């Protein structure tokens, strides 16, 4: 999806360098790209951000892609076709999968980009280990526990849960995300609590952020930062 689609696109990226403990998000601009980031993570070497609608399109091809790499001092950016699933792809030496909804990074100078409209983007980093992940968590991916999958894949490769930090980007919130009863039934059958849903004026609402926060805490991640957007 690009900036000419009917829904505006937020897109988020990270590389995999370590950093100290973090505080609140701030908005900043580099070149044409406006984004939210955690200054303490940035100061520690993690290039990351949740980009706003005021940024260029998320295709990042041609001169736009070159300008993006220059602005953030990167060598390469990986953008995959997202399928609303639970596949987390590992990006290493020469590995460039075409499809997936999560990216695990451990190669210096390579960033991963996830595109979102209503869906949630989650960035995972271990301040003490050279690895990061970024996931596209819509209602289908969340139901399939893509966030937990990314945590497991990082820990299997040496990251430590007790050091990991999760960043939750802009998304549709529980005030506005109307879903059908079949979505609630699917979540409850997979062991999610009723508390991620609310009912108002005859409509059913899903809280994607709360659902993913529960996945993260159940996976052993204690430090979670939400943009609140």
The answer to whether residue 214 is domain-embedded is no
- CA dist 198 and 84 (Å) reads 23
- CA dist 211 and 179 (Å) reads 14
pTM of the model as a whole: 0.85
The predicted pLDDT at position 205 comes to 97
Per-residue pLDDT tens for 99-111? 889 999 988 888 8
Number of H helices, E strands in the chain: 6, 15
The answer to whether residue 24 is domain-embedded is yes
The answer to whether residue 54 is domain-embedded is yes
The predicted pLDDT at position 147 comes to 97
Per-residue pLDDT tens for 28-67? 898 888 889 988 888 888 888 898 877 776 677 778 888 8
Instruction: Using the predicted structure, report yes or no on whether residue 142 has a pLDDT greater than 80.
Output: yes
The answer to whether residue 202 is domain-embedded is no
Note the Cα 198 to chain centre separation in Å. 24
The chain-wide mean pLDDT, for the chain, equals: 85
Domain count for the chain: 1
The predicted pLDDT at position 58 comes to 65
Kindly report the CATH number assigned to the domain that includes residue 156.
Answer: 3.60.140.10
The answer to whether residue 129 is domain-embedded is yes
Q: Residue 193 pairs with which residues in a beta bridge?
A: none
Cβ-proximal residues to 189 (8 Å cutoff; 6+ apart), any chain = none
The answer to whether residue 179 is domain-embedded is no
Task: Write out the residue range of the structural domain in which residue 106 sits.
Answer: 10-172+221-226
The answer to whether residue 194 is domain-embedded is no
The answer to whether residue 60 is domain-embedded is yes
> Average pLDDT, stretch 178-196?
96
> Average pLDDT, stretch 5-29?
50
When comparing pLDDT for 35 and 151, which is higher? 151
């Amino acid at each position: 999806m690009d900036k000419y689609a009917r829904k505006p696109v937020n897109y988020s990226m990270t590389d995999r360098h370590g950093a100290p403990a973090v505080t609140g998000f701030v908005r900043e601009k580099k070149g044409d790209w406006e984004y939210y980031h955690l200054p303490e993570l940035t100061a520690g070497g993690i290039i990351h951000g949740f980009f706003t609608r005021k940024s260029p399109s998320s295709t990042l091809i041609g001169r736009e892609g070159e300008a993006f790499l220059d602005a953030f001092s990167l060598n390469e950016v990986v953008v995959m076709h997202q399928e609303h699933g639970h596949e987390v792809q590992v990006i290493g030496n020469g590995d460039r999968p075409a499809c997936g909804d999560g990216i695990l990074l451990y190669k210096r100078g390579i960033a991963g980009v996830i595109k979102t409209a209503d869906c949630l983007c989650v960035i995972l980093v271990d301040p003490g280990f050279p690895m990061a992940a970024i996931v596209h968590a819509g209602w289908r991916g969340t139901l399939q526990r893509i966030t937990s999958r990314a945590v497991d894949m990082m820990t299997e490769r040496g990251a430590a849960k007790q050091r990991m930090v999760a960043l939750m980007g802009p998304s549709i919130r529980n005030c506005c995300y109307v879903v059908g009863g079949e979505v609630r039934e699917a979540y409850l059958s997979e062991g999610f609590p009723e508390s991620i849903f609310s009912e108002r004026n005859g409509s059913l609402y899903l809280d994607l952020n709360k659902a993913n926060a529960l996945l993260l805490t159940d996976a052993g991640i204690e430090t979670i930062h939400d943009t609140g957007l």
